[in-house]
C-alpha cells in the first residue's frame, strides 16, 4: 500500500513538473515561422493592388515574416529587408495618437466602433449613416482621425503623425515619394469621401489638408520588422519593448485592439475573428500585423490580396502561428 502511494505521488509530481515546464517554455517561434514560410510561399492566390498604380510594381513573390515578443526578442524569415508602404496599417497608430490626445470616449463618439459591412472605401457606408464613418479604420474614419489630431497647422499635423509612427517603429521612417505621388494623383474617391463627411459635419478640419496628410501617412515605408515592433507596443500594454517609451496609455490599449478586431480586415474582419480570434490590421501594400496581448505581435509582408484587400499569405501565416501557439483570445488560458 505504502509503495503504491509513493509511486502515485512520484507520478503526480512528475506530471506537475512537466505541465509547469510546458506552460513556461516559450513556443519555438523560429521553427513556426520557417514552417509557415515554407508552407505558403508557393501559394499564388490573390492579386497585387493596382488601383494605386505605384503598388502594381511590387513583386507578388515578396514574402517576409517577423515575430516581435513583449520581452524584446525578434524572430524572422524571408524578405525581411524589403520595405513596403504601410497604407491602411498606418491608420491604427494615428488612431492611437487621437486616443492619446482625446481619450476613448471622443474616439467612440466621433469615429465609432462598428463594422460597416462594406468595402474599406465605401461611399455608400458614409451615406447610409449620414456621415458617421462607423470606425477609424475604414478610409472615411481614418481621414476623419487625421483631421482630429491636435495641431497648429499642416506641417505640425504631419510632424506629429510621423513622429508618432517613428516612436512606435523605433526607427526613422520615410515617405515613399513615388507611391505618395501616385496615390495623390488617383485619390479622387478619398477626397469625395472626406467632402461627403464634411457635408454631414463629421469632419474636424480642412478636407484637402486631411486627405493629403492621410495619403502621406499611407505612403510611409516600413519593413516587416518595424511593423512587428509597432504591434509589440500594443502587445506590451502600450510600452515599446524596444525603446522603453510608453506610447499609449495602458488603459486605452483594449480600445485600440477592439477597433482592430471590429474592422482591421474590413469586410473580412468577422470571419477572421471567428477563425483566428486575434486583433489584426492589413494594408493594401501587402502588410499585415496581428497582436497577442502579453505575448507577441506578428507581422507579415506579401503583396497579393484577396477581394477584401487583405494579404492572402499574411492571413494564412498568422492563422498558422496563432493556432500553433494557442493564441485565440477566446480560448481559456
Ligand atoms: O486610401 C487608400 O485606399 C489606401 N491608401 C489605403 C487602403 C488600404 O490599405 C486598405 N487596406 N487593406
pLDDT tens profile 258-274: 999 999 998 999 999 99
pLDDT over 80 (residue 213)? yes
Residue 119 backbone phi and psi in degrees, to 5 = -60, 160
* Cα–ligand 1 centroid distance for 103 (angstroms): 25
* Cα–ligand 1 centroid distance for 126 (angstroms): 16
Three cell numbers written together for 8 = 502515485
pLDDT at 26: 83
pLDDT over 50 (residue 20)? no
pLDDT tens profile 90-127: 999 999 999 999 999 999 999 999 999 999 999 999 99
Give 43's contacts (C-beta < 8 A, 6+ positions apart). Answer: 312, 313, 316
Q: How far apart are CA 301 and CA 282, in angstroms?
A: 10
pLDDT tens profile 160-190: 999 999 999 999 999 999 999 999 999 999 9
24 falls in which pLDDT band (50, 70, 90)?
low
- The arrangement of strands across the sheet holding 74-78 comes to 74-78, 64-69, 296-301, 287-292, 280-282
**Ligand 1 site, CB within 6 A:** 87-88, 120-121, 139, 183, 190, 218, 282-284, 309-310
Q: Which atom of ligand 1 is nearest to the CA of 187?
A: 1
Q: Work out the mean pLDDT of the chain and round it to a whole number.
A: 93
Indicate the SS3 state at residue 300: strand
pLDDT at 12: 44
* Cα–ligand 1 centroid distance for 229 (angstroms): 21
207-218 vs 139-148: helix axis angle to the nearest 10? 110
* Cα–ligand 1 centroid distance for 69 (angstroms): 27
Amino acid at each position: 500500500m505504502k509503495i503504491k502511494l509513493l509511486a502515485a505521488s512520484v507520478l503526480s509530481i512528475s506530471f506537475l513538473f512537466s505541465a509547469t515546464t510546458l506552460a513556461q517554455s516559450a513556443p519555438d517561434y523560429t521553427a513556426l515561422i520557417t514552417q509557415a514560410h515554407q508552407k505558403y510561399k508557393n501559394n499564388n492566390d490573390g492579386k497585387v493592388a493596382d488601383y494605386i498604380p505605384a503598388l502594381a510594381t511590387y513583386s507578388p513573390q515578396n514574402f517576409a515574416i517577423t515575430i516581435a515578443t513583449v520581452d524584446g526578442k525578434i524572430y524572422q524569415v524571408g524578405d525581411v529587408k524589403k520595405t513596403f508602404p504601410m497604407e491602411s496599417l498606418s491608420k491604427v497608430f494615428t488612431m492611437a495618437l487621437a486616443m492619446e490626445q482625446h481619450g476613448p470616449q471622443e474616439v467612440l463618439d466621433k469615429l465609432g466602433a462598428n463594422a460597416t459591412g462594406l468595402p474599406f472605401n465605401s461611399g455608400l457606408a458614409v451615406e447610409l449613416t449620414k456621415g458617421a464613418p462607423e470606425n477609424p479604420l475604414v478610409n472615411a474614419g481614418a481621414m476623419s482621425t487625421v483631421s482630429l489630431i491636435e495641431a497648429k497647422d499642416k506641417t505640425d499635423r504631419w510632424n506629429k503623425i510621423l513622429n508618432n509612427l517613428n516612436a512606435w517603429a523605433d526607427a526613422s521612417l520615410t515617405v515613399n515619394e513615388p507611391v505618395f505621388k501616385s496615390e495623390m494623383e488617383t485619390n479622387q474617391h478619398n477626397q469625395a469621401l472626406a467632402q461627403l463627411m464634411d457635408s454631414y459635419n463629421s469632419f474636424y478640419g480642412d478636407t484637402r489638408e486631411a486627405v493629403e496628410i492621410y495619403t502621406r501617412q499611407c505612403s510611409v515605408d516600413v519593413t516587416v520588422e518595424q511593423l512587428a515592433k509597432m504591434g509589440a507596443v500594443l502587445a506590451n500594454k502600450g510600452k515599446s519593448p524596444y525603446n522603453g517609451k510608453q506610447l499609449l496609455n495602458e488603459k486605452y490599449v483594449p480600445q485600440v485592439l477592439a477597433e482592430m478586431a471590429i474592422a482591421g480586415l474590413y469586410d473580412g474582419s468577422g470571419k477572421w475573428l471567428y477563425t483566428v480570434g486575434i486583433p489584426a490590421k492589413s494594408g493594401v501594400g501587402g502588410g499585415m500585423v496581428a497582436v497577442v496581448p502579453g505575448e507577441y505581435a506578428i507581422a507579415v509582408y506579401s503583396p497579393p490580396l484577396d477581394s477584401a484587400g487583405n494579404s492572402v499569405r499574411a492571413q494564412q501565416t498568422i492563422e498558422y502561428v496563432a493556432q500553433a501557439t494557442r493564441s485565440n483570445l477566446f480560448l481559456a488560458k
